Amino acid sequence: MTGSDHTNRRTLSEIGSTCQKAARGAGCLWGLAEEAGTAARILESAGLPGSECVAAILSSDRVCPCTCLASGPVCGIAAAAGISDRIQEVPSNGSVAMGEIVGPILMAAPLVLAARRTGFSYMLSIDGVEFRIGCDGIEGNIANFDFRATATAVAVARSEPPQRPSPFTPNSREISIEAWRALEALAAETLVPESAQSRSSGAGPDA
């Protein structure tokens, strides 16, 4: 069986928009859905499975403004939005601990954007696995890393720039068929079925 039997190729634009729609279909607020789409697109451009990570997060029990859970691991999408808002709190020496998170690698995306904006580089530590993140790419040992797993110890710190980062590319990416189907199923939840009431109210392509 070939690799194409398990994956299909999608553009980064498709990845971002589908992940955003999937997050909305799963009940995410608009801001968090946009965060999911942006993060997936950035990670995929760096060769990391951002779409699989988003799909795993949306199918997991998690503490998030979009769920009713009061305890458990924090949603990686919400954590990404949170570190984006708190980037100025990351000290020049020391780190910001983030606790238990589902899909924490999604936090690399806002750190990429922060690196481009501030000129600093950052270290994202996930259960002892370290990723150096700069404006030119992401460096880390991804060979045996489960991007979909829940991490119990996540922290962000300033770091030296990555020495041999995976460079960002504007090209399309091979995506897991299983993850893509899961994302499309959630994205379909955002569609309103046509009905006599929707037609009379002006909804639909002719509106």
Which of 97-101, 117-121, 168-172, 195-199 is the least confident region? 195-199
Q: In this structure, are residues 37 and 82 in contact, taking their beta carbons and an 8 Å threshold?
A: no
Considering only CA atoms, which of 1, 8, 2, 3 is closest in space to residue 181? Answer: 8
pLDDT single digits (tens) 9-21: 999 999 999 999 9
Classify 120 as helix, strand or coil: coil
pLDDT higher at 111 or 149: 111
As a whole number, mean pLDDT of residues 49-54 equals 93
pLDDT at 74 over 60: yes
Q: How far is residue 81 CA from its own chain's centroid?
A: 10
Tell me how far apart the alpha carbons of residues 158 and 156 are, in angstroms, rounded to a whole number: 7
CA distance 97 to 92: 14
Residues 138-180 pLDDT 10s: 998 877 778 778 899 999 999 999 998 888 888 889 999 999 9
